[in-house]
């Protein structure tokens, strides 16, 4: 599975209140969530980006509330994946569960700049900055988690495996 897109850069400790403020949590429709993604930090984010674009962030991305609405809003806005120095624990689980691939790579996070185009190979963890030619290797995603992403999220994965015999 390969991703390719333009980079939008974010800093450290981007919390889920910034990703989708609680005042928009009275709905759980994914398109509505996408419209309000980063409402306070980058208003109109959904119209700024193109489908397939990538977020590159610093440490502890997605900290705070457990709201799965956060990765869902990002994915539904059209972002194909996130590279960060590190992710908060619950966000990490949630992102895979909704089928949004995310990768930890300190070097790429430090080097890649906003507006660069990158490609990501999820199977190998290879990240290439297509503007500069620089290559990076992310911490690989465990196999069963890549299976979840490739299935399209935990729901599809569970359906594929059959509820009765799931070993998740």
Give the residues lining the site for other proteins (CB under 8 A): 13, 15, 17-18, 21-23, 25-28, 40-41, 59-60, 63-69, 71-72, 86, 88-90, 93-94, 97-98, 142, 153-155, 158-159, 163, 166-168
Smallest gap from Cβ 117 to other proteins, in A, equals: 29
Smallest gap from Cβ 62 to other proteins, in A, equals: 10
Find, among 115, 151, 158, 157, the residue nearest to 6 by Cα.
Answer: 115
Instruction: Answer positive or negative: Cα dihedral of 163, 76, 92, 141.
Output: positive
Considering the complex, state which of residue 80 and residue 97 has its C-beta at the smaller distance from other proteins. 97
Contacts of 102 (CB under 8 A, 6+ apart): 61, 81, 82, 83, 84, 87, 92, 95, 96
Smallest gap from Cβ 131 to other proteins, in A, equals: 30
């Amino acid at each position: 599975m390969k991703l390719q897109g333009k980079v939008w850069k974010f800093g450290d400790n981007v919390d889920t209140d910034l990703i989708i403020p609680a005042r928009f949590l009275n709905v759980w429709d994914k398109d509505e969530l996408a419209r309000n993604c980063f409402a306070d930090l980058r208003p109109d984010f959904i119209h700024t980006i193109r489908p397939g674009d990538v977020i590159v962030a610093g440490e502890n991305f997605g900290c705070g509330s457990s709201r799965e609405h956060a990765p869902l809003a990002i994915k539904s806005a059209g972002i194909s994946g996130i590279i960060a120095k590190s992710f908060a624990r619950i966000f990490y689980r949630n992102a895979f569960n909704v089928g949004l691939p995310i990768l930890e790579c300190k070097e790429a996070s430090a080097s890649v700049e906003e507006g660069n185009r990158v490609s990501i190979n999820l199977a190998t963890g290879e990240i290439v900055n297509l503007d500069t030619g620089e290559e990076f290797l992310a911490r690989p995603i465990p196999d069963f988690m890549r299976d979840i992403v490739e299935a399209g999220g935990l729901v599809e994965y569970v359906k594929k495996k059959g509820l009765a015999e799931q070993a998740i």
